[in-house]
Every structure is written in C-alpha cells, then in structure tokens.
Amino acid sequence: MDFGTFMEFHDRPGRSQAEDFAEGWRQVDLAESAGMDAIWMAESHFTPERAVLTSLMAVGSAIAARTERVTIGTAVQVLPLTDPMRMAEETATLDQISEGRFEFGIGRSGSPAAYDGYGIDYSTSSERTFEDLEIIKGLWTNERFSYKGKFHSYDNVCLVPKPVQSPHPPLRMAANSEASLPVVGKLDLPLFIGVRQHGTERVEKYVDSYQKARKEAGFDGPPDVSIRIPVYISESREEAERVPEHTFMKQFRRLGGQIAVTVGRADVAQDSERASRTAELANLEWGSVMREKVVVGTPEMVIDRIHELKERLKLTSIVAEFNAGEEISESDIERSMRLMCDKVMPAFK
C-alpha cells in the first residue's frame, strides 16, 4: 500500500496567511524526510477561516522544487473551475518540473459553493468534468489536437510541453455517491473515495458497485482504490482517542451544514441519499465516528484498522488527513506522521 498525507495549508486563528504557508512548507519537508509516499493537495476556495491552498499547480511546483522523492498529487483538482487547455499545460509542466512525480486527482466537487464564486452553473458540473477530461487527455497524447464540444472547441492546437510520463500522468477520479461510482468504474479510472459522508459499510458497497461496473465494461484485474480519512496516532490509546475528538467532529458537523444548505437548490440533484447524509452527519457521536469514519489509536491499533479497511474496501493507498478540522497542533501532526512512517507503514510494505 501507498501512504500519503492530505494537505490544505490550514489557517490558524490569529496568524498571517504567510504563517499558514510556512507551516505548510514544514509539513511538506516532514513528509519528504519522514518517508511518506505522497503529498496530496486539496483545492479550497473562498474559505479564509479554513485554508489558503487554492492554486494547486503553483503550490505543487513549489513542492516539486523542494522535494526529490515524494509523489505530488491533487485531491482533487475541480476541473470545471478552470479552462481545460490551461489545465493540460499546467499539469504537463508540473509533471516536467517534478520529473514524473505527478498524479492527477480530479473531480467536480459535491459542493456548489466554489462554482457560485466563479459564476459557473453547478448543474453543468458533471458534463463539464467529463468533457474537460477528454480534452486534457487528448492534448497530452496527441501532437496536434482538435475538438468541438458543448463547452469548449479547439482547432489543430499543439500542447507544449507534453508530460514526462507516458502516455500521461496517472489519473484518479473522486466519487462519493451511489450514482457516480459506476460511471468511474466504466471508465476504469482509479478511484478516490472518502468516509466523511458515509460509514465504512456504505463505502464498501460503493466500491463493490465500482468494481462491478469495471468488470461489466470488460476491465479485468483488481480495483485501484484510494481512501481519504482523518488519522491521529499516539503511543497512548487514551490520548489518541481524546485529543482529536473536538476537531474531527467539527469537520463532520461542518460538512453536514454544507450539504444541508444545498437542499432545495435547483442546480443540485435532490435525492434521498443527500438528505440522509445531512441527517446522519447532524447526529454523529464520537464513538460511532471512531468505529466508522476515522483512524485513531496507537500504532498497533492503527495497523489493525488499516488492515480491516484494506480488506473491506480493496485499498491500494490511504491518504491520511492529519489535521481534519484544522485544530490539531503542529507538534501533534508531526508526531502522528512520524509514527505513521516509522511504525505503521512498514507493516504494509
């Protein structure tokens, strides 16, 4: 299994945005030196109280310049918020700068808030995502490329530079609803999924539907599934279960509020699943969260938990969210990451 760290360059109250970036760079350096396999960057817009990471290509290039080994990934790049031609150029450039250490995680986002800020109709997000993906792959892999679509058209353009990796950087698509998992499976794209909105049991069913769709489309072999999940590790079980409770629960409750405000919007699909997510997140208790939605404990407990998740969800990688809710101290983030690298990862290598 591969192990990555999920990074948003979090804001902390009472400090400058320059200090937010400075802490982010320290965590990048730690991930490289401690032995994490990957750094996954989250795209976050219009949330100054939460994070300052909006430009994934700029920050990814800076990460590439200060590291030599770690994979640099996007988790995820929201494709409809940018022009696909520009995205193809910038991702190919990042692949060149990193000398082939780039992995392109993509999605449309389940929240319309960023679309509102950019003035883009969220109801078109799914169509835009798949059109943009087709364009980006075509630009990467053809010397010259023409395309006429619903949202974009290009005539005999030549992308410069081309990616280092052949035929292109690895792709991974995020999906988090019953309807979207089979779509990703039919394309045989590696999968990003999280347990923030769903318990492990439901995610297990989603992964099964993804794999079923792959097989029905004629794709053999095991699935490639990566999960994003909050993680806190300590040598003390009592501390591991106590310290992250407030901040991890803050994240889940905030997510429930974000979903709730979309109910009734004409540009958001209204279904029973969305309503059930809102209700579930509003009524979570820490005991059930520890069982279903996070990985917390001593290194030995975390090894057992990841073995369980690996078997049930067919995992090939885990992306650890060491600061879910933004209130884990920098020293505790460092300790969790070092324990992950020194005592947990060797059990899976």
pLDDT tens-digit series, residues 322-335: 999 999 999 999 99
pLDDT band, residue 266 (cuts 50/70/90) = confident
**What is the reported pLDDT for 271?**
54
What CA–CA distances, in Å, run from 304 to 198, 200, 203, 228, 343?
A: 21, 15, 19, 17, 12
Cβ atoms of residues 40 and 71 within 8 Å: no
pLDDT at 274 over 70: no
Cβ atoms of residues 227 and 193 within 8 Å: yes
What value does the mean pLDDT take over residues 303-309?
97
pLDDT band, residue 111 (cuts 50/70/90) = confident
What CA–CA distances, in Å, run from 33 to 27, 165, 183, 290, 300?
A: 10, 24, 38, 29, 23
What value does the mean pLDDT take over residues 221-238?
96
Tens of pLDDT, residue by residue over 312-322, are: 999 999 999 99
- Listed in order, the ranges of the chain carrying CATH 3.20.20.30 are 2-252+293-348
pLDDT band, residue 270 (cuts 50/70/90) = low
* Residue given tokens 């300790």 in the structure block: 335
The one-letter code for the residue type at 232 is Y
pTM of this prediction?
Answer: 0.95
Dihedrals phi, psi of 230, to nearest 5 degrees: -65, 140
pLDDT band, residue 276 (cuts 50/70/90) = low
The overall average pLDDT reported for the chain is: 94
- Read off the DSSP letter of residue 315: E
Residue of 266 and 284 predicted with greater confidence: 284
Fold (topology level) of 2-252+293-348 = TIM Barrel (3.20.20)
What CA–CA distances, in Å, run from 136 to 44, 64, 170, 326, 338?
A: 22, 21, 13, 33, 37
pLDDT at 238 over 70: yes
pLDDT at 156 over 90: yes
Cα-Cα-Cα-Cα torsion 297, 299, 300, 302, nearest 10 degrees, comes to 60
What value does the mean pLDDT take over residues 262-283?
68
